[in-house]
């Protein structure tokens, strides 16, 4: 260091002050309950990189939650579009700041509610959406030009995007005003979640079609949310979760590059989705390591020289697999610890699980308590008043380094195998996750890690929520009315256009939008696509 | 009627549910316990499951569902088994099965329904007890 060593507040002067001039913080000053002032960020070496500076270990924004709290985004959906609309409006009324749609499995895999494959599944784990009318009912009285909408949709994301564009046209909303996120992450479906409909290559083409179309027509949308959540739920370790997710991210960046898309624009609209489990410090370190690793991947592998393109933005959700069916109210405490980890780790948005979700979908009361948990952390705990409050602690910094090292060596292994697509196809990724899952189950069985309140003959209470099985029949009837009033020749002609487009290499979204506007359904489009693409087959 | 030799099991996921962490753990634990296990993968229909069970001459079928469609699919498998006169094949299940649904599934022949987190050794022990009642603990290993 030179004789004129930098003043101790260097990060504050260099990055924080210029930022807050344009983006005022929530308060003029932040004080503890006893009146002690809280600095924006603490660091043993004020000259070292801080929040808002590459590689963003300490956070992507200089003021983080002092500027704006994370988005509280509860995932919901069940039964019918109208019933889910009622739950959405209830959550918005209680102060939720974004919507997150859970679709039923037939919609996720590309079957209409009246398909044979949909039997017993309609409206069970989410809402069925087959037509523009369905999406209109789901979002009734919700302003789609101001409320951001996240959709957990993957193999059929291209169709949900097309439905949303068609709905925006119907309502006279410019597509450029639509805000939200499509999960659109097909690789983790092959790895861990299981809703893939088509083989890997055509699935990847559809992912890139969505990214490309959004870049041009729906620029305020995040067209992909690369997800480690389900990888962790399938039993991975924390390091595997981020390694496999970032490796998926690399595969998507490569696919976008092959399509000829501008990677800076792509990078600026990528988002991620991680899990938050019980081990608080391990989770915080994981989020910090993931941010740093992704920034370096963008700069070193893809040559991106743009801060926003290198920033890892992420949604997080508390760990569903950590919830216990025995003494389920204990789950409130687990969810609180996990939510705290996500916030201390610098998440951009958060879903907190309902305490009763090991039993069924959450009851309304449990969904409210889950949201209240976030609000209490945000408003009453003071943790949102200081950026990366655990950063700098030797334990956290060492843990961040250790997780990063382990994840880097896993990504190296995937590179050696010829990239993520090959590593998925040769079974490496699933095997690695399954080994971790088996080990953790044996640890639990042996009593080493048995959750509190769980015993061999403990009682499981009744499920608090159930979906009315009559929904399936109602949906069938509504679809049959819908089909009857269409011009069949027009429908056939639209589906033929889709088939022709799928056989070529043009973007499929425009023809899908036209088809859906004319009354085609999600199931009809997927059946058409499968004639060209083939169907995924699982052989166990 | 009890057979001897390695226990043969078919594991299956009926319907559209993609949660296969649990069934894959069970698959591994049963194999580690010396059983012969066939897993038919995601999205198999009740007809396919029963057909495979008969062709593979298994002694038990284990079904998994975490998506709320257990009543439809589990009961359908049990119905087709009866139709095919294959009721001697034992049924068990696992996943997120609400307490209020357990009685009707037991009537359909599912003696054991295992919630997530069930110790794997318990599933192994139950199958041995039902299928090889006379044998001692490690005879199959």
Q: Where are the domains of chain A?
A: 65-445
CATH architecture of residue range(s) B8-140: 3-Layer(aba) Sandwich (3.40)
**pLDDT tens string A167-192:** 999 999 999 999 999 999 999 999 99
- Name the percent of chain B lying above pLDDT 70: 94
Question: Is residue A317 within a helix (H) or strand (E), and if so which, with residue range?
Answer: strand A314-318
- The answer, for A457 touching chain B at a CB cutoff of 8 Å, is no
Chain A, 305 to 334: residues with Cβ < 8 Å from chain B are 321, 324-325
Chain A, 144 to 203: residues with Cβ < 8 Å from chain B are 189, 193-195
pTM reported for the whole predicted model: 0.96
Cα pseudo-dihedral A55, A58, A60, A64, rounded to 10: -170
Q: Are B68 and A235 inside 8 Å of each other by CB?
A: no
Query: Cβ contact (<8 Å) for B68 and A360?
Result: yes
Spatial separation of the C-alpha atoms in residues A286 and B69, rounded to whole Å: 35
Per-residue pLDDT tens over the stretch B77-136: 999 999 999 999 999 999 999 999 999 999 999 999 999 989 999 999 999 999 999 876
Find the residue in B nearest to A446 (Cα).
B119
Dihedral, CA of residue A314, residue A150, residue A184 and residue A55, to nearest 10: -20
CA nearest B25 in A: which residue?
A438
Contacts of A111 in chain B (CB under 8 A): 16
CB contact under 8 A, A456 and B119: yes
* Selection from A133, A102, A76 nearest residue A475 by Cα: A133
**Could you give the CA distance from residue B42 to residue B14 in angstroms, rounded to a whole number?**
7
- Chain B closest-CA separation from residue A378 CA (Å): 32
Residue that is written with structure tokens 């009537």 in the block:
B107
Q: Which structure tokens are listed for A428? A: 């490496």
Residues of A in contact with B18 (CB under 8 A): 105, 189, 193-195
Contact of A413 with chain B, judged by CB distance below 8 Å, is answered with no
Residue of A nearest to B32 (CA): A438
Q: Which of A194, A360, A437 shows the shortest C-beta gap to B98?
A: A360
Do A540 and B38 lie within an 8 Å CB cutoff? yes
**Closest to B126 measured CA to CA, from B33, B25, B55:** B33
Q: How far from chain centre, in Å, is Cα A234?
A: 16
Closest-CA distance of chain A to residue B20, Å: 8
pLDDT for the residue numbered A4 = 62
Q: Chain A: residue nearest B65 by CA? A: A121
Task: Report pLDDT digits (tens) over A514-536.
Answer: 999 999 999 999 999 999 999 99
Q: How confident is the model at residue B141 (pLDDT cuts 50, 70, 90)?
A: very low
Please give the DSSP secondary-structure letter assigned to residue A62.
S
User: In terms of CA atoms, which chain A residue is nearest residue B70?
Assistant: A120
Give the tens place of pLDDT for each residue, A28-40. Answer: 999 999 999 999 9
A280-296 vs A394-416: helix crossing angle, rounded to 10 = 50
Whether CATH 3.20.20.240 fits A65-445: yes
Residue B137 banded pLDDT, cuts 50, 70, 90: low
Tens of pLDDT, residue by residue, chain A (540 residues) = 455 655 556 999 999 999 999 999 999 999 999 999 999 999 988 889 999 999 999 999 999 999 999 999 888 898 999 999 999 999 899 888 789 999 999 999 999 999 999 999 999 999 999 999 999 999 999 999 999 999 999 999 999 999 999 999 999 999 999 999 999 999 999 999 999 999 999 999 999 999 999 999 999 999 999 999 999 999 999 999 999 999 999 999 999 999 999 999 999 999 999 999 999 999 999 999 999 999 999 999 999 999 999 999 999 999 999 999 999 999 999 999 999 999 999 999 999 999 999 999 899 899 999 999 999 999 999 999 999 999 999 999 999 999 999 999 999 999 999 999 999 999 999 999 999 999 999 999 999 999 999 998 899 999 998 889 899 999 999 999 999 999 999 999 999 999 999 999 999 999 999 999 999 999 999 999 999 999 998 877
Judged by CB atoms closer than 8 Å, whether chains meet at B18 and A195 is answered as: yes
**B15 contacts A451? CB cut-off 8 A:** no
Q: Which helix (H) or strand (E) holds A268?
A: helix A263-268
- Does the beta-carbon distance from A538 to B42 stay under 8 Å? yes
The dihedral over CA atoms of A254, A256, A261, A265, expressed in degrees to the nearest 10, equals -90
Per the CB < 8 A criterion, the answer to whether A234 and A280 are in contact is no
- Asked whether the beta carbons of residue B119 and residue A445 sit closer than 8 angstroms, the reply is yes
A-chain residues within 8 Å CB-CB of B122? 456
Interface residues on B facing A, Cβ-Cβ cutoff 8 A: 15-21, 24-25, 28, 38-43, 67-69, 71-73, 96, 98-100, 115-117, 119-122
From chain A, the residues in CB contact with B25 under 8 A are 235, 434, 437-438, 441
**Is B21 in contact with A233 (Cβ distance < 8 A)?**
yes
Chain-chain contact of A360 with B25 (C-beta, under 8 angstroms): no
Q: How far does A159 lie from chain B, in Å, by closest CA?
A: 19
Contact A540 B69 (CB under 8 A): no
* A530 inside 8 A of chain B by CB: no
- Model confidence band, residue B138 (pLDDT cutoffs 50, 70, 90): low
Query: A121: which chain B residues are within 8 Å (Cβ-Cβ)?
Result: 15-16, 67-69, 72
CA distances from residue A527 to A109, A156, A157, A522 in whole angstroms, order as listed: 11, 12, 15, 9
Q: Are strands B8-12 and A349-351 parallel, antiparallel or unpaired?
A: unpaired
Kindly state whether A538 is in contact with chain B, defined as any CB-CB distance less than 8 angstroms: yes
Nearest Cα of chain A lies from the Cα of B122 at a distance, in angstroms, of 9
Q: What is the DSSP string of chain B?
A: ----SS-EEEEE-BTT----HHHHHHHHHHHHTT-EEEE--SSB-HHHHHHHHHHTT-SEEEEEE-SS-HHHHHHHHHHHHHHTT-TTSEEEEEES--HHHHHHHHHTTEEEEEPTT--HHHHHHHHHHHH-TTS-GGGG-
Q: How many CB pairs under 8 A join A and B?
A: 100
- A440 touches B: beta carbon within 8 Å: no
Contact: B39, A540; criterion CB under 8 Å = yes
Cα distance from A184 to chain B (closest Cα, Å)?
Answer: 16
**Contact of A403 with A289, CB cutoff 8 Å:** yes
Question: B71: nearest CA in chain A?
Answer: A120
């Amino acid at each position: 260091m030179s004789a004129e060593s930098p003043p101790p507040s260097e990060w504050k002067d260099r990055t924080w002050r210029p930022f807050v001039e344009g983006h005022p913080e929530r308060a003029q000053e932040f004080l503890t309950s006893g009146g002690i002032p809280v600095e924006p960020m603490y660091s043993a070496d004020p000259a070292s990189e801080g929040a808002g500076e590459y590689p963003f270990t300490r956070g992507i924004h200089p003021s983080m939650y002092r500027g704006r709290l994370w988005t509280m985004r509860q995932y919901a959906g069940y039964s019918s579009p109208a019933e889910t609309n009622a739950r959405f409006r209830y959550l918005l009324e209680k102060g939720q700041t974004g919507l997150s749609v859970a679709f039923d499995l037939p919609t996720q895999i590309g079957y209409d509610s009246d398909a044979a494959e949909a039997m017993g599944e309609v409206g069970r784990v989410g809402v069925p959406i087959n037509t523009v009318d369905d999406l209109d009912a789901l979002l009734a009285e919700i302003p789609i030009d101001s409320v951001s909408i996240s959709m957990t949709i993957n193999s059929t994301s291209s169709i949900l995007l097309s439905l949303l564009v068609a709905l925006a046209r119907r309502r006279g909303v410019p597509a450029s005003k639509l805000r939200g996120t499509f999960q659109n992450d097909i690789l983790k479906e092959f790895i861990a979640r299981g809703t893939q409909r088509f083989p890997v290559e055509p699935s990847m083409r559809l992912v890139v079609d969505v990214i490309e179309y959004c870049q041009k027509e729906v620029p305020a949308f995040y067209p992909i949310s690369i997800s480690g959540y389900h990888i962790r739920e399938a039993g991975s370790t924390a390091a595997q979760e981020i390694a496999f997710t970032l490796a998926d991210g690399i595969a998507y960046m490569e696919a976008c590059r092959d399509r000829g898309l501008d990677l800076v624009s792509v990078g600026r609209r990528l988002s991620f989705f991680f899990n938050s489990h019980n081990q608080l410090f391990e989770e915080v370190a994981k989020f910090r390591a993931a941010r740093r690793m992704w920034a370096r991947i963008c700069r070193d592998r893809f040559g991106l020289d743009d801060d926003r393109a290198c920033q890892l933005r992420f949604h997080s959700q508390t760990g569903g697999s950590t919830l216990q069916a025995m003494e389920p109210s204990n789950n409130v405490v687990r969810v609180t610890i996990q939510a705290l980890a996500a916030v201390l780790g610098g998440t951009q948005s958060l879903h907190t699980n309902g305490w009763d979700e090991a039993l069924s979908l959450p009851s309304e009361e449990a969904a409210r308590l889950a949201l209240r948990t976030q609000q209490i952390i945000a408003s009453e705990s003071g943790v949102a008043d200081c950026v990366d409050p655990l950063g700098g602690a030797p334990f956290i910094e060492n843990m961040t380094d250790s997780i990063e090292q382990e994840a880097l060596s896993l990504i190296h292994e995937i590179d050696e195998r010829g990239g993520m697509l090959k590593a998925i196809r040769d079974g490496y990724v699933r095997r690695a996750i399954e080994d971790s899952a088996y080990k953790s189950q044996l640890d639990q069985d042996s009593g080493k890690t048995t959750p509190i309140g769980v015993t061999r003959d403990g009682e499981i209470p009744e499920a608090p929520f159930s979906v009315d099985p009559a929904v399936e029949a109602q949906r069938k009837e509504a679809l049959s009315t819908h089909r009857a009033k269409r011009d069949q020749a027009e429908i056939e002609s639209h589906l033929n256009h889709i088939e022709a487009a799928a056989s070529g290499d043009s973007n499929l979204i425009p023809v899908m939008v036209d088809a859906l506007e004319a009354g085609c359904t999600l199931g009809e489009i997927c059946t058409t696509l499968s004639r060209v693409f083939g169907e995924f087959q699982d052989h166990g | 009627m009890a057979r001897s030799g390695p226990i043969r099991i078919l594991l299956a996921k009926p319907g559209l549910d993609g949660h296969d962490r649990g069934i894959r753990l069970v698959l591994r634990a049963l194999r580690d316990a010396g059983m012969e296990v066939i897993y038919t993968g995601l999205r198999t229909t009740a007809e396919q499951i029963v057909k495979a069970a008969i062709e593979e001459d298994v002694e038990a079928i284990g079904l998994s569902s975490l998506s709320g469609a257990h009543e439809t699919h589990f009961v359908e498998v049990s119905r087709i088994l009866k139709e095919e006169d294959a009721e001697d094949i034992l049924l068990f299940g696992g996943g997120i099965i609400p307490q209020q649904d357990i009685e009707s599934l037991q009537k359909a022949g599912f003696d054991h329904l295992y919630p997530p987190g069930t110790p794997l050794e318990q599933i192994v022990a139950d199958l041995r007890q039902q299928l090889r009642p006379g044998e001692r603990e490690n005879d199959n290993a």
